[in-house]
Every structure is written in structure tokens, then in C-alpha cells.
Structure 1
Amino acid sequence: MIVFGRAGFSLCTLQHNMNRLYDSSRSIPYLMPKPPMDLTETPINSRKVFDGELLHVYQDQARLPDGKVKVREYITHPGAVVIIPLLDNGELVLERQHRYPLHRDFYELPAGKIDPGEDPLLCAQRELLEETGYTAASWRYLATLHPCIGYSDERLIYYFAQELSFQGANLDEGEHLEIFTLTLATALEWVKTGKITDNKSVSGLFWAEKVLREEW
């Protein structure tokens, strides 16, 4: 046993304490408070500071759990769907499009904004047809992600689409895309090398890998 100073602190003691913090056989750390702390932040008032075609920016005053009041700024977003379209030959349908905020082209999975009151699956079917020209006979919901929880309520709903048939694209006004196909292995290599950096697409490609391995 190695001892440090008069306190008699040892590496064994340190390891014992670390083991108490988390037991891999349990899903909850030993020292988590029970019941959990109430971390709710309660809105006091809200002010819309920007009202755009897509994004709406709010500045709220919120009461924190300790009673203090802080300003919270956030963007509301209608949410979007992300589609992972798999052709019968095992290739994925992807898009290349220019993204103005970063002034560069990106390689992405098909995706689109959910219209008010629109069912997410119907939105996914609509967006796949409009952007790529494909319809799919088989649809599978995968998951919902919140990509920017620090400043927006945006949600991304993922679907896996198979049994594709090409019908012809019908892009929205102002939308310019190049559609291409790629193997999953190549797409993942593009992620590794930084050629694909769009977060929704990176997440979707990792999900595609799990689905095809029957791990999801």
C-alpha cells in the first residue's frame, strides 16, 4: 500500500471511493441524490425579439431552482425529419447542397422541416419525394434527437426508408440540390476524414450501420 502524508490516504482508498461512485452493474451512480434535485427553471415572462420566416428568437426571464432570476435566450423551430434511404443495391441516397451560413457545400441525408400540424412520417415521405424523387414502401422510425438543447427546441425525427422507387423530384422554390448514391462504408469513411460533418447526417449514418447490423 502506498501512503501519502499524515492523513494516511492510499491508492487503495482512492480506488475504493471511485468504485463507490459508480458500479458498472448498476445504471445509477451510488451517490446520486434520492429523490433527485428539482432543476426546473420557471418562465416569468417572455419577449419575442426576432420573428423570421423560419426562426423565432425569444428572450425570457426565468426563475432558477435557487430562486434567482436569469435571462434565457432561445430559438423556436418547427422540427424536422431526417431520412436514411437505402436502395436495393445497398447504397444510400444522399444530397449535396450549399449551406449559406457557412458558405460552403455539404453532403447530407435528405431532411426537411415539419409543417404546422403535419404528421412527421407524412413529412418524411413528402420530403423524400420532393428532394430526391424517390418513394419508399418500407418505413421505420428510429429515434428523435434534440441537436441544440442549449439554445433551441428543435427536434430531429429519424426514419429508415427501404424498397425505394424513383418517381422524379419536385424541389421547393429556392432549393438547389445534387442527388447521388454512396455505399455506407464510403459514407462512414467520409465522416472519418471530415468530408461529411453535418451532425444530423453523421448521426443518421451511424444509425444506418446499427440497423444493417441488426443492432437497433
Structure 2
Amino acid sequence: MLEVSRDRVRLPDGAESMREYVRHPGAVVVLAVLPDDRLLFERQYRYPLRRAFIELPAGKIDAGEDLLSCARRELREETGYEADEWQYLGVMHPCIGYSNERIEIFLARGLTHVGNALDDGEFLEVLTLSVEEALEAAQDGRITDGKSIVALFRGFRALGLAVGPAGGG
């Protein structure tokens, strides 16, 4: 899934240097809104940090896969839901100092539960949070996953939330 590269580059002053970076195929994250306006999240153990995290459904883009197809697949596999309405919210780059990874952000509405289809070796718990609970969890450190925090931020307007400082909108 990951490839480490090392390139010789010319710097603005004409000197040469080496740059090492990780190539990543990209991923999607889905801000999925239930009919009662609660959001779908997952609690999943992440081995590199040796603990469970609360995060939005997400996953790697397969070679040649359409972004929306990937978002649909990941939502279904991980949560058991399909969505009637999809909106593209933008892209984020989670680790620009050492990787070319990008995460494409989608909003999904009109959800219907059809049963999950987790990948082999994938174990997670699906949970729901209100928008207010999710924002509070991001503020107090219960949600620290960058892609989930950015997706919440990017979804503010679509979720009908005010953006900007109080009184400034």
C-alpha cells in the first residue's frame, strides 16, 4: 500500500539535496448523516498507536477506482449503510511533509441499513453521535483523527452549521 521514495532535488539556491517521502494511493472519508441527523462513526483499534480511535468511515482508493465508487464501497463495507445522496466536500492532505497522500471528503445522506461487509481482519464498532457531540469530542480530544476533524469542518455548511467566529458567520 505504501512506497517510500528518495529523490535528488535542486534547491532554490542551486544546491542539491535528497527528499524522502511516502507514496500513497489516496483515500476517502465519508461524513454520513442518518435520517435523525446523527452522524455515523467507528471505533477502531489502530495498531501503530496501540489504541482505539473514534473516526468517520474511510478507506484506501483501489487502483483505477472512481472516488465516489470508493466512498460508496467503504461506507457499505464498514457501516452496513448505503446512501441515496452524495456530495463532494473537497480534499485534504494529511501529511504534506513526508507523503503525497490525499483524502477525498464526501457527505452522504438518505442512508439505508443493508448490512456490513467488513474486510478480512477488520474489526470495528459502529456508533452514532449528534453533530454537537461530534464537535465536542473533537474539541475535548476524544476524536483526534485528522481526517474526521477536517471532514466535520468541511461539512459545516452542508450540515447547516454556522462557520466562523461568533457573530461573524
TM-score (norm 1): 0.73
Establish whether residue 75 from structure 1 lines up as the match of residue 31 from structure 2.
no
- Separation in 2, partners of 1:123, 1:83: 10
Asked if the contact 2:34/2:111 (under 8 Å) is kept, the reply is yes
Contact 2:25 2:61 in 1 (8 A): yes
Matches within 5 A, 1:1-216: 54-213=1-160
Cα displacement (A) at 1:105: 0.5
Identity rate, percent: 53
Give the whole-Å Cα distance in 2 for the aligned partners of 1:206 and 1:214: 10
Query: For the pair shown, which has the larger CA radius of gyration, 1 or 2?
Result: 1
Shift of 1:214: 6.7
1:194 and 1:210 map into 2 onto residues whose CA distance is: 23
CA–CA distance in structure 1, aligned partners of residues 62 and 20 of structure 2: 24
Distance in 1 (CA, whole Å) between partners of 2:162 and 2:134 is 19
CA RMSD, Structure 1 to Structure 2 (Å): 1.2
Q: Tell me the SS of whatever aligns to 1:212.
A: coil
Moved over 6 A (4+): none
Return 5+ residue gaps in structure 1 as ranges. 1-53
Which amino acid letter does the alignment assign opposite residue 164 of structure 1? L
Deviations 1:125-182 (A, max 9, x none): 0000000000000000000111111110000000000000000000001110100111
User: Which range is displaced more, 203-212 or 180-189?
Assistant: 203-212
Cα displacement (A) at 1:215: 6.7
